[in-house]
Amino acid sequence: MYKILKAEELADKIFLMDVEAPRVARHCEPGQFVIVKMDEKGERIPLTICDYDREKGTITIVFQIVGASTLKMAELKAGDSFRDFTGPLGCPSEFVNEDLEALKNKKMLFVAGGVGAAPVYPQVKWLHERGIDADVIVGSKTKNMLILEEEMKAVAGNLYVCTDDGSYGHAGMVTSMVEKLVKEEGKKYDVCVAIGPMIMMKFTCLMTKDLGIPTIVSMNPIMVDGTGMCGACRLHVGDEVKFACVDGPEFDGHLVDFDEAMKRQLMYKTEEGRAMLRLQEGNTHHGGCGNCGGDN
């Protein structure tokens, strides 16, 4: 059992929890995720790691209520426990393995939309702890939906806050702030990391491609099983078929086929849609192996 040490509501339907998971905390890196399960019969829920403390042996997760399982999960309090808390899973962010001196010469921009602020935070924090300041754009629909502003402010070189309705910070989408920083303020970036809703990542990548800024995205939003067995997170990255959970979750955003991924995301929610995907994709559908019998 994995004890919940803290549980709080960050915004409407968005919750943060600190969980006691020493083994995961010892080995995790920014960009990776965990799978949580409330009880023996509960749904497996993949969640990107928001923060970790190796000394205390804790992992911080942030999630949004999107269905019955996350609604039930939001009812858990400090002192309750998860049945399973599996991780770290997925590949760490690319820069974790880069030469540190070379990394210090890079100008990095992070763009976080909505709950995407949670997986962006540990990456920016990791860089800050190594003397590297990155610019960060955080966007939300309204001021009341904004999360982790103070935490992000403490680790970002420059923090730019956007709200779609103009209730706080810059009025407009995160893409308009990217354009403003580059075209109006003359900032130059070597790489952009964009994490958030699929549609936000798509249009951020269209913008950065036009601006000539290499961009990394996290495809965590399309993961279901988190082990490559369900096939839900199958996507095309350039000419290659990838699975977000085992090959990612981060990929070159300029090569991701977002339209295909978003269409697939909608289809996978229904049994009829899943059956159609099995028919269309054959042996490549189920984790890419076609031999495990998981569709039977």
Sequence-ordered strand ranges (E) for the chain = 2-11, 14-20, 33-37, 45-53, 58-64, 81-82, 84-89, 108-113, 135-140, 158-163, 170-171, 191-195, 215-218, 234-237, 240-243, 250-252
Residue 62 annotated in ligand binding? yes
- CA atoms of 266 and 197, how far apart (whole Å): 13
Backbone angles phi, psi at 244, to 5 degrees: -55, -35
Which residues on neighbouring strands pair with residue 186, listed in sequence order?
Answer: none
User: Side chain identity at 131, as an amino acid letter?
Assistant: G
Residue 28 annotated in ligand binding? no
Residue 64 annotated in ligand binding? yes
Other CB atoms within 10 Å distance of the CB of residue 71: 11
Please report where in the chains the tokens 């990217």 appear, as a residue: 178
Other CB atoms within 10 Å distance of the CB of residue 98: 12
Quick one: tokens of 24?
């995961």
Backbone angles phi, psi at 187, to 5 degrees: -75, 145
C-alpha to C-alpha distances, 104 to 87, 100, 108, 189, 223, nearest whole angstrom: 29, 6, 10, 13, 32
Residue 33 annotated in ligand binding? no
Residue 32 annotated in ligand binding? no
DSSP line for 18-52: EEE-HHHHHH--TT-EEEEESSTTPPPEEEEEEEE
Q: Residue 255 in 3-state DSSP?
A: coil
Residue 246 annotated in ligand binding? no
- CA atoms of 257 and 263, how far apart (whole Å): 10
- Residue 104's closest CA among 134, 138, 132, 74? 132
Write out the binding residues for FAD. Answer: 62-64
Write out the binding residues for [2Fe-2S] cluster. Answer: 230, 233, 245
Write out the binding residues. Answer: 62-64, 230, 233, 245
